[in-house]
Chains A and B, each alone.
Chain A
Amino acid sequence: MINSSSSKKHGTDQQEISGPTAKSQRAQMGKPEESENKKRLKDVEISVPIVFGNAAFWLGKKASDYQSHKWTVYVRGATNEDLSVVVKRAVFQLHSSFNNPTRVVESAPFELSESGWGEFEIAITLYFHSDVCEKPLNLFHHLKLYPEDESGPMSTKKPVVVEFYDEIVFTEPSESFLARVQNHPAVTFPRLPAGFTLPPPVPIEDESKRNRGDTKDHPLSQWFLNFSEADELLQLAAARQQVQAHIAKLRRQISMIDGQNQQLKPPSDQ
């Protein structure tokens, strides 16, 4: 019986198993769906924080009935790093009233600009490199053109921006994937099993030679929202404290009442 994979799962935390045993276990368990050269690390996950959404500019005087806004829908790294390290291409599925509603973007930055008047749901499908993941991932974004406050004036200078933070989680990543991205800023690298070593990364090409896929100097970058987990963590911690305090209080009250009830119980009961 294989007993060394005795990792306890707490929520989404995952512990790892030692390297050499992991390999022999995999050989024993004989995962049928992968070939031996794609060694995967069980109980390891690697995540890529992303932000996706849209920015929409009102065209003001130049607006026509059917083209009142110019908008851009995009998927970017949460810290504006280049996503093409994991994403091979992005497919944006627009409303059927658009010409060629299926728009394919083959390189970073993964974005699409169009003009129109209507708000609709855009399905974004991310395809990953073959060593990353065979399956694509779907995101859904509701295009927003009009500001929340309907009564306010619309400005051609300030866009309506709606962004969502999320993280793409890859489970059981392959060694080659891990090796390739081990120092890349776009990726949240996991803690590896003790004693496990990766092959050295392929030397990164000269930045200037490649087309820059990061969005640090993107024209829209001034409108990008900031997402800080610190605030949310603080909020959650404070809330938890309050709830825990209440729980403790209730427990005291219950035991008190229990005591009272015991004395009150008529002898015929129970």
Chain B
Amino acid sequence: MDAKDILGLPKTPLPITQEKKSRPQKDSQRKPDGISREVYALTGGLAPLMPSIDVSQLKRRPPSDEKITWQWLPFTSSARKDDLQLYHWARVVNGVPPTGDYSFAKYNKSVDVIRYTDEEYEKYLTDPTWTKEETDQLFDFCERFDLRFIIIADRFPTSRTVEELKDRYYSVSRAILIARAPSPGEVAGHPLVKEPYNVSQETERKRALSMVLSQTKHQERKDAEVIAEAKRIAESRMAAQGVEEPDLPVTSDIGPENAEKAIGHGDAISPSNVHVPSAAVAPSTSILADNTSTLASLRMLRVYLRTYALEQMVQAASSSAGLRTIKRVEQTLQDLGVNLKPKVPTKAVCAEHLELRKEILTLLNLQKQLQYKEAEGSSFRDGSYGDMPGTPKRSLRAADQDRTFVPDTISFGGERVGKREQKRKGPGRVSETPSSPAHKRPRKLKASDL
């Protein structure tokens, strides 16, 4: 369960609803429309928002006939159990000191901790995990510390968690209440009876809270990623409408699980661990999601043309590819002598066509990979950008010889490959960009040698 679920926090930030409350109040005090603020002010206008100090009020207080003195006098407070006499300044009117209790004594509230008798304990309150002494001590502490369980837990002789103490206290009080009540109905309204203390929930809640509070920024971001991913998967699953993809549920389950493990262990699991599964989940689910959602939307149409369906499937399959890649796919199809749009689009032909396109995409990706790896290789050999000694040139030659059979535009027709290589720039020459211009000429010679 997500920490935010346990706490009942909304996954998206709460909307700011407070602004609405203050607005109507302000509205009633606005000036009327139609005349400018300054003009309205001439007529007397609105009251200023800040109450100004009414000077007349200050001075007008009539001199009282009483004689007031302030005296340093002792006092007692009913809040105190001893007879301690403290001193304070008291306002004496006509020689009469103030009467009555210390004015702050009324604030000395304390909790009504229910005390049980021994018989009651024997009858209702025995518990395998609590001894009578412990329970007695707990109740003493509760009274002393006004149910401040953190403090009670600190001072408790045997180590008990706050939740355990609370649980014992509340269940005992509840049992006593119910036992002493003349009829169950009378106490049914009592909050203790109505809502008993739930230990497991509280423990969970606190654990989740501490997790949320102790999350580093990094983990926060990971969490947001996973939640967004889960939402996307859920949405695409809904779009697929019952079209089963066994891969989808499995991968999406793995994702959040991994994330949770990472959260649980904190720094123990390196971030890369969490990142990899979610990264792996992302592209595969997006492609699968595209496919299944295309199929689903086609089904919803009830009637469609096979060519339209093929178009949609091709789009879905190439959704992750850029425009240049798509153009290259089409060029490859042409080179292979295949119609870009099948002339006889039967079910079988369309399926084959789609598969062919996907395979060409794979092919182009592999080519790119190969180029990068070769570039990597040559940069390792060089050590620095600059002169390329003889050996690398030769090995590049070997690589190039292979590559002449697999250029970006596949020459299946057996055209003059060498010439082609010369003309083209850009991707085909990636591995050689580190070389200085001086080497371009030797390159050309080599190509034409083939």
Contact = CB atoms under 8 A, between A and B. Distances in A.
Do A and B share a complex?
A: yes
Interface of A: 2, 5-9, 11-13, 29, 47, 49, 128, 133-135, 137, 139, 165-172, 227-229, 231-233, 235-237, 239-240, 242-244, 246-247, 249-251, 253-254, 257-258, 260-261, 264-266
Nearest to B350: A12
A12 B303 contact: no
Contacts of A2: 242
Nearest to A254: B370
B356 A257 contact: no
Given A12-B351, A167-B347, A236-B349, A243 B303 contact: no
> Looking at chain B, what size class is its interface with the partner chain?
35 or more
B243 interface: yes
A137 B303 contact: yes
B37 to A, nearest CB: 59
Interface in B233-274: 242-246
A155 to B, nearest CB: 25
16 contacts: A7-B244, A12-B309, A12-B350, A134-B302, A165-B343, A171-B303, A227-B344, A229-B348, A232-B342, A232-B343, A233-B348, A236-B353, A239-B333, A247-B359, A254-B373, A257-B374
Contacts of B360: 243
Given A9-B292, A254-B373, A257-B373, A165 B344 contact: yes
B107 interface: no
Interface stretch (B49-57, B128-136, B361-369): B361-369
Given A239-B356, A250-B367, A169 B244 contact: no
B355 A240 contact: yes
A261 B355 CA distance: 33
B385 interface: no
Interface of B is mostly: helix
A251 B366 contact: yes
B374 A137 contact: no
B354 to A, nearest CB: 6
Contacts of B351: 11-13
Given A239-B338, A250-B369, 15 more contacts: A7-B244, A11-B354, A12-B350, A135-B301, A167-B306, A169-B303, A171-B298, A229-B348, A247-B362, A253-B402, A254-B370, A254-B373, A257-B373, A257-B399, A264-B381
Contacts of A258: 373
A8 B344 contact: no
B303 A168 contact: yes
Nearest to B310: A12
Contact of B356 (A8, A171, A240, A260): A240
Contacts of B355: 11, 240
B363 A254 contact: no
4 closest residue pairs by CB, A with B: A167-B306, A264-B380, A236-B352, A250-B366
Contacts of A168: 303-306
A260 B346 CA distance: 47
A138 B229 CA distance: 38
Contact of A47 (B292, B347, B353): B347
A260 B376 CA distance: 10
A165 B305 CA distance: 10
Contacts of A242: 336, 410, 412
A116 B351 CA distance: 40
B306 A8 contact: no
B317 to A, nearest CB: 10
Contacts of B402: 253
A52 B302 CA distance: 21
A48 to B, nearest CB: 10
A12 B312 CA distance: 12
B218 to A, nearest CB: 23
B338 A257 contact: no
A7 B295 CA distance: 13
A236 B344 contact: no
A169 B242 contact: no
Contacts of A240: 352, 355-356, 359
A235 B412 CA distance: 14
A8 B246 contact: yes
Contacts of A260: 377
Contacts of A251: 366
B406 A249 contact: yes
A239 B336 CA distance: 6
Given A229-B344, A233-B348, A166 B307 contact: yes
Contacts of A172: 299, 302
B74 interface: no
B339 interface: yes
Contacts of A8: 244, 246
B345 interface: yes
A258 B377 CA distance: 9
B413 to A, nearest CB: 12
Interface string B303-338: 111110100010000000000000000001100111
A68 B31 CA distance: 78
Given A253-B370, A261-B376, A166 B244 contact: no
B376 A6 contact: no
Among the interface residues A2, A166, A239, which one has the most CB atoms of the partner chain B within 10 A?
A239
A244 B363 CA distance: 8
Nearest to A227: B344
Contacts of A265: 380
Nearest to B359: A243
Contacts of B333: 239
Contacts of A137: 303-305
A228 B342 CA distance: 11
Nearest to A230: B344
B351 to A, nearest CB: 5
A172 B303 CA distance: 9
A49 B346 contact: yes
Contact of A244 (B359, B381, B410): B359
